Structure 1
Amino acid sequence: MYITYARRRGDFKPAAVTPVVSDNQTLIKEYLAWKATHTRSAGEKYALWVTRFQAFTNKAPEDLVIGDWTAFASSLNGRFAPKNVEFALSIIHNYLRYWHEQGRLRLPLYLARVPTARARSHEAITEEEYRRLVDVLKAEKHLRDLVIVRLLHDTGMRVGELESLEIEQIEEDSSAVIDTEKTVQRRRVFWNQDTDEVLQRYLVSRINDGPDSDWLFAGRTPGKAHLNRRTIERMIRDTCARAGITRKLTPHSFRHAFIHRMAALGTPDAIIAQLVGHSSPDSISHYTKLSRPEAERFARLQFSHLALAA
């Protein structure tokens, strides 16, 4: 349940509301114009989520009910990472508070609390594990899955960014300009020549024999949906099992490994943040912190040196 009300003394009494006729675009523009006077950088990020909320509910503030909040929150589950959901609901919370202050909310939805997302722990995939996945998919001739695994490895993309790739985004220089999932900015990602050769073979098959849609990784419904996050997660899990990998690896494990490789090369955090689509270099430390085995290995190095010195 996404909605819990903050405790207040006394019962909430809806204020008298004078109906105001507004379409979605008018509501969005009014809110964003107000928001811009407080936070200049909020424009694109807030516009994205407020537009999604209005498209989902298609209601004026006066007509919103608790079910609209909970249904919208539930619709984000599985489609976006927990931190993205928390960020989105924080924006909608602010949006609802604005309409409360304008006297246009009949119900106290502005008191809804946004749950704090707990970041899931993801282990970075090793190069040896990556090679085992590639070998299995090559042997089984699973071309689409091989492309997915190789792109995740080479680019460090989020799975949501990968699944929403379109064919026309693939460029001749082994790169693509993608929409960054969290910051709604665009960035370019790159892959190596071996990956590009596999990708080009897949493109020929995809265009000639695949569904009639623009998605690079099309789903089963022709012309509509792309491959979803859960399908990709299941593919990674099943391939790991066939490769004899017992650790729990996810699509995000490739992103961690990408950042670890960049850090090992001495790449500044600001550059890494740009490559993976983070808004701030500060967030990179979450990925570069040592896992327990890595921490133990480095910590125990001192004992070897002490033994040699004795």
Structure 2
Amino acid sequence: MWEPYKKGFKAYLQLERSLAGNSIEAYLADIEKLTTFLLLKNIKKNPSELDLGDLQQFVKWIAELGMTQSSQARIISGLRTFYKYCLLEDITKTDPTALLEAPKLKRTLPDVLSFGEIENIIASIDLSSPEGTRNKAIVETMYSCGLRVSEVVNLKLSQLYLDVGFIRVIGKGDKERLVPIGSSAIKYITIYLATRKHVVIQRGEEDILFLNRRGKRLTRVMIFLIIKDLVKKAGITKNISPHTFRHSFATHLVEGGADLRAVQEMLGHESITTTEIYTHLDREFLRKTLEQFHPGFK
């Protein structure tokens, strides 16, 4: 009964939204959970017949299954996207998710590195080995450009425009963006490329920038292990992952007064609301600034 709607929704996510495969699978899994619930409760309704009460029962059911609040919120977000598609295709005239409440989530702010801590991490890299030169280029690029881990491991030589200070990044949903790259990152990429000439590059990997000693691109796990090792050497006890460099890049920009739209563009966020988390992150910075410079602030 729901199969044609699922197929149409999948096509919408692929063609209209240009989402990556794993994102599409997640959305379809949300609708699958809804249809499982309808089957178990013997509710024989199509999307246009479901009402707010039905969806509230569904949310209660997934909560009783033991799903976390964040999982519940994500599923509700998936239902909203599905009904957006239904309205576009005239499958429904109303949106029953409009008044559907998601659980209130406490937004946890990620750890951020100070500029001094990033400098300490970079200083802890052993440059006497080829891997050290590569790792320095990786860390400098991650912080300079605010890249996701997947964007780092898939960065290609053909995407570097170092002479004009830009790199072309392929982000989520294969969306492209141009990101400025700093002089320090350019310097260490250039040094790394000179040492990389000794590596025997595997077929198909010739255009990949960061390679392991066997001439293949690095995995996400390998980047994670490199960062963990460097953080330990630098004596930093915060919970740090490769993504922390992206958070730090954005936070330092916002703290410095950068335009939020510009930060959104550089991070490749689809929505400005995702970028707005960094306005919360820098509240402590604002407080410290007031304490330091405002004579009447106690």
TM-score class, shorter? 0.5 to 0.7
Contact 1:272 1:281 in 2 (8 A): no
Amino acid corresponding to residue 215 of structure 1 in structure 2? I
Amino acid corresponding to residue 256 of structure 2 in structure 1? L
Shift of 1:120: 6.5
Give the corresponding residue for 1:186: 176
1:268 to 259, 278, 283: 259
For residue 218 of structure 1, give the secondary structure of its aligned residue in structure 2.
coil
Quick one: distance in 1 between partners of 2:108 and 2:150?
Answer: 16
1:43 to 16, 19, 29: 16
Contact 2:127 2:133 in 1 (8 A): no
Amino acid corresponding to residue 242 of structure 2 in structure 1? P
Give the corresponding residue for 1:217: 210
Judged with a 3 Å threshold, the aligned counterparts in structure 2 of structure 1 residues 172 and 292 are, in CA distance, closer, same or farther, namely closer
Quick one: distance in 1 between partners of 2:194 and 2:241?
Answer: 28
TM-score (ref. length: structure 2): 0.61
1:278 to 247, 269, 276: 269
For residue 157 of structure 1, give the secondary structure of its aligned residue in structure 2.
coil
* Identical-pair percentage: 20
2:123 to 135, 150, 175: 135
Quick one: distance in 1 between partners of 2:176 and 2:136?
Answer: 25
Mark the runs of 5 or more structure 1 residues left unpaired by the alignment: 1-14, 16-26, 54-81, 99-115
Quick one: distance in 2 between partners of 1:201 and 1:185?
Answer: 29
Judged with a 3 Å threshold, the aligned counterparts in structure 2 of structure 1 residues 297 and 140 are, in CA distance, closer, same or farther, namely farther
Give the corresponding residue for 2:33: none
For residue 276 of structure 2, give the secondary structure of its aligned residue in structure 1.
helix
Pair 1:176-2:167 in alignment: yes
Judged with a 3 Å threshold, the aligned counterparts in structure 2 of structure 1 residues 293 and 172 are, in CA distance, closer, same or farther, namely closer
For residue 249 of structure 2, give the secondary structure of its aligned residue in structure 1.
helix
Mark the runs of 5 or more structure 2 residues left unpaired by the alignment: 26-69, 87-103
Shift of 1:283: 1.7
Judged with a 3 Å threshold, the aligned counterparts in structure 2 of structure 1 residues 207 and 135 are, in CA distance, closer, same or farther, namely same
Contact 1:123 1:249 in 2 (8 A): yes
Quick one: distance in 1 between partners of 2:215 and 2:199?
Answer: 12
Give the corresponding residue for 1:8: none
Contact 1:170 1:176 in 2 (8 A): yes
Shift of 1:118: 9.2
CA-to-partner distance for each residue in 1:239-282, whole Å, 9 max, x for gaps? 11111222222222211221122223322211110111011222
Judged with a 3 Å threshold, the aligned counterparts in structure 2 of structure 1 residues 127 and 140 are, in CA distance, closer, same or farther, namely farther
Give the corresponding residue for 2:192: 202
Contact 1:44 1:184 in 2 (8 A): no
Quick one: distance in 2 between partners of 1:51 and 1:279?
Answer: 14
1:236 to 221, 227, 230: 227
Alpha-carbon RMSD across the aligned residues, in angstroms, is: 4.6
TM-score (ref. length: structure 1): 0.59
